[in-house]
């Protein structure tokens, strides 16, 4: 209903209520006291009555003292003569009648109520949203406001995805450019990527660039407790899209309705499957949805039904990955436009120190830095604010109130010093950014690394990472001749890494074979039973190879710390005194105690036999390009290939 008519109806009802109340209370005047007719005649006889107003059979009497009262008089023909004989002033009024509007209101009020109720329910049945009798209507919201539209300039760090989706924008602007040669624009685009990488923002940017209606709905809005509601809402959604064509329909988190059919334990043709079937028909049925482009986003593409991903439905699958170092720099610059930044802030340095951060993480980083600066009444956000915000985002708030015993503090110092020294004395390790024993979150101390972002990791790199993980545990054992529970996180990470080296990456003596566990979930249409494709003897050998990697890494860390135990003691003392040691300070301590020490290179080339001159002439262009591509890969920065690699940035103690 129009807001104007809604307000008008409200004021009409309020006015009628006031009229009724006035009419009711105006007839009941408390100052007028009723008197019996015999008492009234006695007062007339005693000449105590000054004035009488006759209104039908009701008399309004005023006595000589000025008091007023009412008297109900019967049909007395001698009343007028009696009053005249006593010299009473006589007035007359016609009998009281109800106002015309009250008569109309009383007679028509029930009918008006019935008509109003009927109109209300009819409008509710015809309208959408969450109103009565509208279960099957789509809950998609139409965003056509161009005042706060998002464009591609607001999206950074995902240039490949922007380029891929630029064709969608060009088609919506000029369809004939593509259709003149018989081409067909993709019906659907599936955006895949981790949470926070900008999938929803990218879809809004497409609508903003194209200048067309943009319908947005969540996948969970389709399915409710009523049977057939989801399928009905899918039909209504596409009907709305056809009416507003050309347009874009964006379904966020489509995995809520697009999961693999035929789950192992659920069974049956449930409501969710009905919704999915209707979506499949609408996307590629007999009817043409010309000008309606469906864009969906999900961070679980592995659970989607194969029928949903075939050409003709989702023709394109765009991967929106975590940004690399250049992408993170661009994202930081976009978010820094809204914040006054101090001259010492370097987005490049911040981008290097935030590997694995998504666009949402970087936005949160800038926001936390701004809040910290505002808390200290600063005019601009400085680099120290960003460093503090980064530590807070990674590990949590600094626990200043925590009481730590001297023994635990000393153990933590040696633990973190062990990590840092092993990382600096072994090749192929990440650069140490900072070592601190200030407790944050659940960690008693942290060793920060600056991991180099590469597409691949090699066996010698992973072996060095294993040794770094055990550096803290080995330091505790060497110094205190006892071990603590502080290395639980290190042990878990190292065990998982060694298991992957053997099971998934074929880096053991078992050869290039995969023994990875089947981690598929049974509720997305997979088999309930888990099959193991190797024997018990092979399982025993796998365990032996994992133990061999762990033992070698442990011995390597032990050897490094025994040879440099004096540096270990000195670094621990500095940590106990300053609580935080930066990477440059760590290198200075090592060079002070080991003058002329040559730090192992992070990029030591793997020795390869020199090519024979006869073979060099026959070297194919493919081989040359492959070599150049490998060199480019070595120098490029990419996101970590697994979740565990991101966790390697910090080592928790406790």
From the centroid of its chain, how far is CA 277? 28
Give the per-residue pLDDT at 463: 93
C-alpha dihedral (411, 413, 415, 420), degrees to nearest 10:
-170
| 126 pLDDT above the threshold of 60 | no
Q: What is the pTM of this model?
A: 0.61
| 519 pLDDT above the threshold of 60 | no
Please indicate whether residue 258 or residue 475 has the higher confidence score (pLDDT): 475
The stretches of 244-340 forming alpha helices (DSSP H) are 271-283, 306-309, 325-336
Catalytic residue, candidates 368, 416, 477, 645? 416
Please, which pLDDT band fits residue 269 given cuts at 50, 70 and 90?
low
Whole-number percent of the chain with pLDDT over 70: 75
Report the distance separating Cα 160 and Cα 279, nearest Å.
28
Give the per-residue pLDDT at 227: 64
Please say whether the beta carbons of 207 and 168 come within 8 A: no
β-pairing, 33-34 vs 446-450, is unpaired
| 650 pLDDT above the threshold of 50 | no
Please indicate whether residue 30 or residue 479 has the higher confidence score (pLDDT): 479
In this predicted model, what pLDDT tens digit does every residue of 554-612 receive, in sequence order? 999 999 999 999 999 999 999 988 888 888 889 899 988 888 888 875 544 333 333 33
Element (H, E) at 452: none
Q: What is the largest CA-CA distance in the chain?
A: 154
Report the distance separating Cα 427 and Cα 350, nearest Å.
25
With CA atoms as reference, report the closest residue to 443 among 247, 179, 654: 654
Q: Which residues contact 240 (CB under 8 A, 6 or more apart)?
A: 138, 140, 142, 215
Give the per-residue pLDDT at 125: 59
Lowest mean pLDDT among 154-163, 367-376, 472-481, 601-610: 601-610
Q: What mean pLDDT comes out for the span 234-244?
A: 83
Please, which pLDDT band fits residue 502 given cuts at 50, 70 and 90?
very high
CA distances from 592 to 120, 422, 597 (A): 85, 17, 9
The Cβ of residue 301 has, within 10 Å, a number of other Cβ atoms equal to: 17
Listed ranges 241-250, 453-462, 563-572, 628-637; the one with the highest mean pLDDT: 563-572
Q: What mean pLDDT comes out for the span 300-305?
A: 85
Give the per-residue pLDDT at 649: 37
Beta bridge partners of 51: 62, 89
Cis peptide upstream of residue 246 (ω within 30 degrees of 0): yes
| 482 pLDDT above the threshold of 70 | yes
| 38 pLDDT above the threshold of 80 | yes
Report the distance separating Cα 463 and Cα 585, nearest Å.
26
In this predicted model, what pLDDT tens digit does every residue of 79-116 receive, in sequence order? 888 888 888 888 888 776 666 666 766 777 778 788 87
Give the per-residue pLDDT at 614: 37
Give the per-residue pLDDT at 187: 81
In DSSP notation, 548-617 reads: HHHHHHHHHHHHHHHHTHHHHHHHHHHHHHHSEEEHHHHHHHHHHHSTT--PPPTTPPPP-PPPPHHHHT
416 is an active site residue = yes
Give the per-residue pLDDT at 631: 37
Please indicate whether residue 42 or residue 138 has the higher confidence score (pLDDT): 42
Please say whether the beta carbons of 235 and 203 come within 8 A: no
Q: What are phi and psi of 141, to 5 degrees?
A: -100, 135
Give the per-residue pLDDT at 520: 47
| 618 pLDDT above the threshold of 70 | no
């Amino acid at each position: 209903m129009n807001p104007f008519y809604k307000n008008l109806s409200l004021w009409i009802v309020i006015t009628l209520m006031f009229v009724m109340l006035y009419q009711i209370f105006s007839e009941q005047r408390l100052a007028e006291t009723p008197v019996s007719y015999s008492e009234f005649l006695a007062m007339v006889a005693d000449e105590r009555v000054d004035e009488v107003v006759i209104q039908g059979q009701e008399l309004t009497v005023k006595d000589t003292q000025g008091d007023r009262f009412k008297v109900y008089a019967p049909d007395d023909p001698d009343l007028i003569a009696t009053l005249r004989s006593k010299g009473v002033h006589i007035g007359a009024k016609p009998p009281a009648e109800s106002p015309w509007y009250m008569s109309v209101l009383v007679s028509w009020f029930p009918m008006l109520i019935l008509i109003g109720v009927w109109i209300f329910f009819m409008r509710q049945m015809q309208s959408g949203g969450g109103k009565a009798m509208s279960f099957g209507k789509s809950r998609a919201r139409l965003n056509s406001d161009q005042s706060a539209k998002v464009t591609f300039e607001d999206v950074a760090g995902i240039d490949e995805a922007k380029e891929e989706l630029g064709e969608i924008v060009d088609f919506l602007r000029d369809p004939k450019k593509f259709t003149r040669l018989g081409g067909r624009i993709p019906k659907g685009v599936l955006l895949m990527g981790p949470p926070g990488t900008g999938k929803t923002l990218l879809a809004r940017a497409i609508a903003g660039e194209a200048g067309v209606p943009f319908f947005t709905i969540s996948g969970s809005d389709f399915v409710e407790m009523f049977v057939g509601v989801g399928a009905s809402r899918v039909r209504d959604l596409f009907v709305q899209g056809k009416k507003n064509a050309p347009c874009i329909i964006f379904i966020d988190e489509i995995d809520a309705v697009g999961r693999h059919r035929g789950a192992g334990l659920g069974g049956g043709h449930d409501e969710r499957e009905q919704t999915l079937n209707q979506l499949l028909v609408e996307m590629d049925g007999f009817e043409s949805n010309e000008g309606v482009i469906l864009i969906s986003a999900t961070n679980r593409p592995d659970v989607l039904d194969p029928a949903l991903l075939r050409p003709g439905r989702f023709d394109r699958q765009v991967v929106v990955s975590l940004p690399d170092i250049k992408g993170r720099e661009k994202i930081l610059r976009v978010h820094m436009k809204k914040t006054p930044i101090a001259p010492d802030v370097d987005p490049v340095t911040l981008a290097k120190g935030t590997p694995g951060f998504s666009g949402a993480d970087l936005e949160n980083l800038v926001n936390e830095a701004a809040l910290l600066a505002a808390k200290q009444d600063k005019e601009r956000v400085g680099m120290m604010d960003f460093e503090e915000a980064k530590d807070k985002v990674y590990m949590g708030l600094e626990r200043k109130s925590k009481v730590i015993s001297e023994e635990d503090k000393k153990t933590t110092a040696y633990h973190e010093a062990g990590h840092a020294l092993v990382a600096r004395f072994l090749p192929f390790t990440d650069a140490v950014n900072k070592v601190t024993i200030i407790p944050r979150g659940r960690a008693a101390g942290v060793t920060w690394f600056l991991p180099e972002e590469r597409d691949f990791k090699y066996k010698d790199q992973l072996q060095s990472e294993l040794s770094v993980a055990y550096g803290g545990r080995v330091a505790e054992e060497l110094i205190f001749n006892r071990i603590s529970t502080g290395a639980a996180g290190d042990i878990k990470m190292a065990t998982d890494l060694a298991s992957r080296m053997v099971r998934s990456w074929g880096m053991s003596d078992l050869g290039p074979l995969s023994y990875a566990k089947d981690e598929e979930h049974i509720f997305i249409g997979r088999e309930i039973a888990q099959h193991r494709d190797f024997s018990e003897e092979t399982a025993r050998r796998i365990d032996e190879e994992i133990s061999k990697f762990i033992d070698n890494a442990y011995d390597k860390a032990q050897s490094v710390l025994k040879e440099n135990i004096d540096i270990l003691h000195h670094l621990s003392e500095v940590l106990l005194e300053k609580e935080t040691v930066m990477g440059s300070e760590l290198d200075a301590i090592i060079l002070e105690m080991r003058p002329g020490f040559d730090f192992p290179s992070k990029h030591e080339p793997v020795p390869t036999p020199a090519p024979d001159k006869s073979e060099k002439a026959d070297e194919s262009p493919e081989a040359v390009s492959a070599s150049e591509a490998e060199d480019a890969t070595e120098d490029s920065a990419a996101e970590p290939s697994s979740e565990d690699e991101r966790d390697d940035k910090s080592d928790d103690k406790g």
